[in-house]
Each structure stands twice: as structure tokens, then as C-alpha cells.
Amino acid sequence: MTRVAKWFAADPDLRMNPRLVKAMSAPPRAEGVDFCRAHPLDLRLDGAVLVTGATGFVGGGILFSLLSRAEELGLTKIVLMVRRRAGKTVEERLQKLKENSMFDGLRETFDQLVVGLEGDVSQQNFGWKEHEKSWPHQERLKAVLHCAGDVRFQQPMQQAAVSLVSATLQVQQLASQWRSKRFLFVSTAFVHAVPPSSTEALEEKLVELRDFDAMELYRDAMSHGSWAKTAMRELGFPNTYTFAKAIAEHLVIRACEADELDVRIVRPSIVGPSWAFPYTGWAGDKPSTIVGAGALLARRGVRVFRDGFDHPCPVVPVDMVADLTVRALCGASNAERGPILHACLDATEADQMPSFRFALRLLFQIFALKGILPLFELGFMSKLLRASSNATVFYYANSILNVFPIHFLDAVRICLERIFSMFGQKLSKEFSTVVRVLVSCRSLPMDYHPFSSPSTP
């Protein structure tokens, strides 16, 4: 047994990479507000802005950029549409948001500019009783930024249509009703269902839906969804999230053209931890997909991901996405192609971005250096990662090591809850929460496969 453990622990991929050691002692550089002020955008908005999704990961980065650059942009008010949640009022949620350490040094600006507006983008008319609610502030509304959205990949078709298409169109209608000058929608670069060849660029224009009409697809998705599912498969979309975003883009541009509303669409790729603000490595209050994947590996929530190819991983820092979004909000556009802008690293920078395979190996080395997992266990995971370059091996490894243990643990949770209830007791809330989180993540390695391990760059 000792020999086997040593054999696993001696895996060559666990040898410390010199680049990793050098990165751990990187020289200090500008962060946070200092970084924003040292890199002006040279644009102005001169008015108020309405933002949805500001309590989320990308939305939080955008809010930080707006507050840091408030004077430069000429912002007079930042209105955050926030829904009631867990019994907390909008005021309570805003207070909690302001107290977040990311806003250290910006709380005075926050108090001066930020106000809440209760509303749920997923509900009809935002849950308001008044059908025609007027803009509640004296400052003129210059731009509406819609960043809210359910980022789960495997929503049922109808649910994806409601949370990603209906919600977006409803916010666009509100922007038009309140006479905003501009409407901006945060979409995803993965509306490109089929990646182009390595010699072609991702085009900053609406993706082709061939003979399918976006409005008809939306109507079908809102009812039974069978035709929409067929279209999704034929067009090559890997999930309902990317499919619904593509439909939303088409319909939003149509609606904005009809209302003579200036439109912008920003398409980020996989959004990762920040480069410089709010501070280096910021990843939000809840783990984003990239951070969540590492946390699941560290906590043995999952054991294996598909071994990616050696293409650059399509990750972009959240603060880069935030600044591009703020630029678009102020009117920046692609002069040649129009209102769609990609928030991605381009081919000239791709050699600086590690592949998914390389990133996982560095992650295992960090786990080894920090003693997060035993060396023999990391060696086993490293060998398993290499073996999973084969699709069949990955399928069975994912089923046996990821999916089955989580289903088994969930079955144990259900049995224990029933046994405890027979005696008038409740199962530990912490245990139940952990299991429910794992259940929600059980499909992550398979869901992430089209993005983390593409056959082409």
C-alpha cells in the first residue's frame, strides 16, 4: 500500500513549476480605486444609470467601476434594481452590499449616488402593482444596464426563456418607457454555438439562426418548447443558457431599433477573478464557476474534470469585463461592426492565458504546496486527469467518482431527514446545505466540458 501511495505521490505533474513560484512573490502593483483612477476611460455619461444584477459577481465589478469613476463619468445617480430576498428589504440588502469590504474607500460615494428600486426582473411588470410606473428621480436617466440573469446552464427551456429572454425584453421596455438614451445587455461570447476555426475571429454581430425566427423560437420556448429544443440541437448550442442568450440578442436589437433606443451588447467569455479591482483576485461573495470548480476539487466535491486540450482557456478577468461594459454604457461601440462588443482576450494575448489542462496542473501543485490534499491523493487525481483526455474514460470516471457519490450522499440526507422527523428532530442545517450545494453542482464537469475542453481554440 505504501508503494502505491508513493507511486501516486511521485507523479511528475506535481513537481513545482518555476513560474508558479515566481508568481507567488510578484511585485506589488496598483489595485482598486488607485488602478481605476490611473486608467481613465475618457468618456462621460452625465446623468443617471439604472442597473440590474449589481449584487452578483459581474454586476458587483461593474458597480465598483462606476463608483470609482463616478466623477470622471459625470454620474448623478446609480439606481440599483434589487428584489426582496430571504425576508430582507431592499434597504437592508443595499446596506449589506455597502458594508462589503470591496467598497472600502467608496462608501461616501456609495451614499451620495446609490439608491435602491425594488423590482424582480423575472416577474411580470417587476412585481409592481402600478402598471405604468414613472421614473422616480429628478436626475435624467441616461442608460439602463441589464446584467441580472440565471447563469445555470441546464435550466428547462421554458425557465430559461423566462429568466433570460422575457426578463431582458422587460427591462428594455422599461428603458424605452423611462426615455433612457441607451440600453445595454450583458450576454455571453458562447452565443457562438460552433467555434470558428483557429484562423477566424469571433464575429461581433448577431449569430445566424439559419431558417429559425427568433420570435417564433421564443414563443415556442415559452409554451411546450419542443420545436425550440429541436432548433437548439440543430444549431449546435450545448445548453439552454447559451441558446436563450442568442435569442435574447436578436429580440433586444429588434426592440431597440423599433423604439429608436441606442443599444449595446457586451459578450464576456468565462468570467474569472479580477486582475486589479476591487482588489487582485477578487471573485465575489459566492464562488464563480471557475473558482467553484477549484473549491469542489479541494473539498472533494468532485474528483475529476475532463482533461482539456492545450488551447488557451477562454477566461477573462471580471474587472476587464466591468470596464468594457462601462465604456459601452457611455457609448463606446465597434465602429466597423456596430453595437456588439466581445469582452474576451484576443489572439494577440492568447499566449499569456494558460490552457485548462495547464491551469488544473498548477492548481494541484498549489494544493500540494499548501497541504490542502495529501500528495498520494493529488497524484491519483493528476493521473486520472491525464486518462480523462479520452472521452470514454471521462464519461465513466465522471459517473463513478462525481455523480454516483453525490447521489448516494443525497439519498442518505433524505433518509436521515425522514428518520429525524419521526422523532420530532431536524437534521443539521449545515449538512443539508452542503449536500444540496453538491447536488446542484453534480453536472458541472459535464456541463463545463464544451467550454473548458473545446476541440478547437
Predicted confidence (pLDDT) per residue in 17-36, tens digit: 888 888 888 788 899 999 99
pLDDT score for 202: 79
Residue indicated by cell numbers 446545505: 433
- Over range 438-446, report the average pLDDT: 84
Tally helices (H) and strands (E) across the chain: 20, 9
Cβ-based neighbour number of residue 329 at 10 Å: 25
Average pLDDT over residues 398-415: 93
Q: pTM for the complete prediction? A: 0.90
pLDDT confidence bin for 337, thresholds 50/70/90: low
Residue 229 has phi, psi (to 5 degrees) of -65, -40
**Res 450: pLDDT:** 67
Beta carbons within 10 angstroms of residue 169's beta carbon: 17
Cβ 62 vs Cβ 100: under 8 Å: no
Distances (CA, A) of 152 to 398, 440, 456: 19, 10, 24
Q: Can you list the pairs that 404-409 forms with residues at least 24 positions away whose Cβ atoms lie under 8 Å?
A: 406/301, 406/438, 406/439, 406/441, 406/442, 407/442, 409/435, 409/438
What is the model's pLDDT at position 108? 95
Is the CB of residue 457 less than 8 Å from the CB of residue 312? Answer: yes
Q: What is the pLDDT of residue 457?
A: 61
Tell which residue, 267, 269, 313, has the closest CA to residue 457: 313
Q: Which long-range contacts does 344-353 make (Cβ < 8 Å, 24+ apart)?
A: 344/189, 344/202, 344/267, 344/268, 344/269, 344/314, 344/316, 345/269, 345/312, 345/314, 345/316, 346/201, 347/201, 350/312, 350/457, 351/312, 353/312, 353/313, 353/314, 353/315
Residue span(s) of the chain under CATH 3.40.50.720 come to: 40-269+314-352
Which CATH superfamily groups domain 40-269+314-352? NAD(P)-binding Rossmann-like Domain (3.40.50.720)
Q: Residue 111 pLDDT more than 70? A: yes
Q: Which helix H or strand E contains 146, and what residues bound it?
A: strand 141-146
